[in-house]
Structure 1
Amino acid sequence: MRRTLATFAAVAAAATLPLAPPAAAEPAAEPAAYSSYVALGDSFTSTGPMFPERVQLPCARSAGNYPSLVAHRLEPSEFTDVSCGGATTEHMAEPQWGIVNQPQFDALRPGTDLVTVGIGGNDIPFAEVVLTCGSMGLVAPAGSPCKDFYVSAGTDELAAKVRAVGPKVGAVLRGIRDRAPDAEVLLVGYPSLLPDSGANCWPLVPIARGDAPYLRDITKLLNRMLAERAAAEGAVFVDTYTSSIGHDMCEPPGEKWVEGILPTSPAVPVHPNGLGSRNQARQILATLGRS
């Protein structure tokens, strides 16, 4: 520690002494090691490259999805992935499709020390929006039929649905904390589906010109809501949108990380492909200090 010298004489005397070696830098903290990792979520968690990867049906759970990639990097003693296509926030605590998929919360234990969860899109529900906007865009490519459908008299019904999911996501995060009180909890956001510029690529993706910026903003609203809920509940939000800009459905094969309605790689339509899964995993690992 540097000391203040009282007199010029003392400074001069000190100058005649040999230089001391620089203090050693504090060693960087080692990234946390995890003994039990549980992945929860919907199809944006469960899917990824579908072939030649092993896939668990009916949840469309790919062995190449981001939870599997994260687990491969972290090497926890236990890894459990119960994410499932079509899951809503309700399916965290309730079975999905009868007895086909048990409540995802059942995978949590008091000793679980890492949880990733990606949920909320199906509560809007996302599939309905894709079907509605895609079918309308086919017949009115130059207009904004989807926005006109959801926005009426100054009220944006779709934006209201997104905001209504917030309390449900908050309840999910509290449910995780109740069952795994010592876990580090990461809430994973959704990637860029359409160009961040607001452009469209009709007919490759049948979203009308005026609807592309509207749907982009809805995706951003969803991610903003998720980030706010994570902060409020003591979880960490993982942004996968920013890093995926320029890799949306409108990009050519090899550049796009999300497949379009007609996939060009073995992946689920309008979901992350292998490149997208790798980016999701990269963002999670970077958040955990493992990049």
Structure 2
Amino acid sequence: MNSVGTGRRLLVAAIAVVGLLALGTPAALANDGHHVPGTGTPGDGDGVVQYVNMGDSYSAASGVLPPAPGAPPQCLQSLRNWGHLLADRWDYALTDVSCGAAETRHFTEPQYPGVAPQVQALSDETDVVTLTIGGNDSGVFIGTIVACATAAAVTAGTGNPCEQQNGDRFTDTIENVTYPDLVRTLETVKAAAPNARIGIAGYLQILPEERGCYPIMPVAVGDVPYINGIQATLNDAVRRAAEATDVTYIDVTEASQGHDACRPIGTRWVEPGLLGTNPVVVHPNALGEAAMADRAAAELGPGPQR
């Protein structure tokens, strides 16, 4: 096939990958996911430690089977997400309102019809809160993947076309929009759960330090450091927002080095764009969720006992 034909074929593949991303939209995974709130609810006063898991697809474990019974199907919430793993480990009563594609605004407004604002799960009886949030704000995550996958397809994975085309626009958005939104959101969570210990995690490493694995991850070789820089900026914004609001930051960056989406099955914690095992691509698999639970347990400890 000539170079034009190859470029078109790769562009189609990249668009297909992007179509699957969507960070938890209903089309990303056709199942009847449900939700189990645990053995108690915030404010029930039964002496059980009340634990709420919140946030986006990294907290929901979108794409990891089996789905959580009772959860809104459009939220793509997994029974094996880090919230469920921590609740089992600590023997806490879990209320899980995490939802794929959530943005910071969905903490105070409905994300979908029938899906309440996430802070409504919190009260002064809430003891522990975990969350991931920020990656979907202003479309930074999906915007980066779409832009870089499309650019890589045109150059057949060579050069750094995404960086050349987009420059600092993604990192500028994180600094100028996402960071202040994160601070406001964490302040809202603290106000709604004034007695809770709160932990917010960063995002697992998606790409290796250099080169990548085009086309399994549809990123041009020269754009790997560029995307890593965007992710580092996002994780640092989460860290600084946690510090500004006196919330525990759960650092997963160092732990996830060597477990990126280019690694083989059994080693990677994030699924690649092509030839992965989960239908929601560029998201944590079960190993990644377990690693997040381990890091949260190390940072938060067992938490309060009632």
Same fold (TM over 0.5): yes
Report the Cα distance in structure 1 between the residues aligned to 2:160 and 2:181, rounded to whole angstroms.
30
Distance, in Å, in 1 between the alignment partners of 2:270 and 2:283 is 5
Q: For residue 75 of structure 1, what is the aligned residue in structure 2?
A: 91
User: In 2 relative to 1, CA 42–206 (structure 1 residues): closer, same or farther, beyond 3 Å?
Assistant: same
**Structure 2 residue 179 is matched with structure 1 residue 183:** no
- In proportion to residue count, which structure has more helix? 2
For 1:237-265, what per-residue CA distance to the aligned partner results, in whole angstroms no more than 9, with x for missing partners?
A: 00111101001011111111100112532
Structure 1: runs of 5+ lacking an equivalent: 1-32
- Given candidates 50, 61, 65, the residue that maps to 2:77 is 61
- Deviation for aligned residue 1:39: 0.9
Residue 50, structure 1, aligned to residue 60, structure 2: no
Aligned to 1:246: 258
> What corresponds to 2:99 in structure 1?
84
Q: Whole-Å Cα distance in 2 between the matches of residues 266 and 227 of structure 1?
A: 28
1:130 aligns with 2:130: no
CA distance in 2, matches of 1:263, 1:51: 17
Is 1:108 matched up with 2:135? no
Which residue matches 1:166? Answer: 179
Per-residue deviation, 1:204? 1.2
What letter matches 2:231 in structure 1?
T
Contact preservation (8 Å) 2:62, 2:100: no
Distance 1:102 1:74, change over 3 A: same
Rounded Cα–Cα distance in structure 2 between residues aligned with 1:242 and 1:34 = 33
Identity %: 35
Moved over 3 A (4+): 52-56
User: Residue 6 of structure 1 corresponds to which residue in structure 2?
Assistant: none
- Residues 129 and 110 (structure 1), Cα distance of their counterparts in 2 relative to 1, 3 Å cut: same
Native 8 Å contact 1:48 1:277 kept in 2? no
Letter paired with 2:111: Q
Tell me the amino acid that sits aligned with residue 123 of structure 1.
Answer: D
**Pair 1:94 & 2:109 matched:** yes
Separation in 1, partners of 2:58, 2:257: 17
SS of the residue corresponding to residue 262 of structure 1 reads: coil
Please show how residues 1-291 of structure 1 align to structure 2 within 5 Å. Answer: 35-47=49-61, 50-54=64-68, 56=71, 57-76=73-92, 78-97=93-112, 99-125=113-139, 126-140=141-155, 141-151=157-167, 156-163=168-175, 164-195=177-208, 197-266=209-278, 268-290=280-302
1:127-158 Cα deviation digits (max 9, x unpaired): 1221121121112111111111211xxxx111
Deviations 1:27-48 (A, max 9, x none): xxxxxx9711111100111015
TM-score (norm 1): 0.83
Alpha-carbon distance, 1:210 to partner:
1.1
Structure with max Cα Rg: 1
The 3 A distance-change label for structure 1 pair 90 and 273 is same
SS class of match (2:52): strand
CA distance in 1, matches of 2:271, 2:213: 13
The 3-state SS of whatever aligns with 2:75 is coil
RMSD: 1.8
User: Structure 2: where are the runs of 5+ without partners?
Assistant: 1-46
SS at match of 1:40: strand
- CA displacement, residues 10-60 of structure 1 (integer Å, 9 cap, x when unaligned): xxxxxxxxxxxxxxxxxxxxxxx9711111100111015633454641101
Count of aligned pairs:
252
Q: Residue 43 of structure 1 contacts residue 86 of structure 1 at CA under 8 Å; is this kept in 2?
A: yes
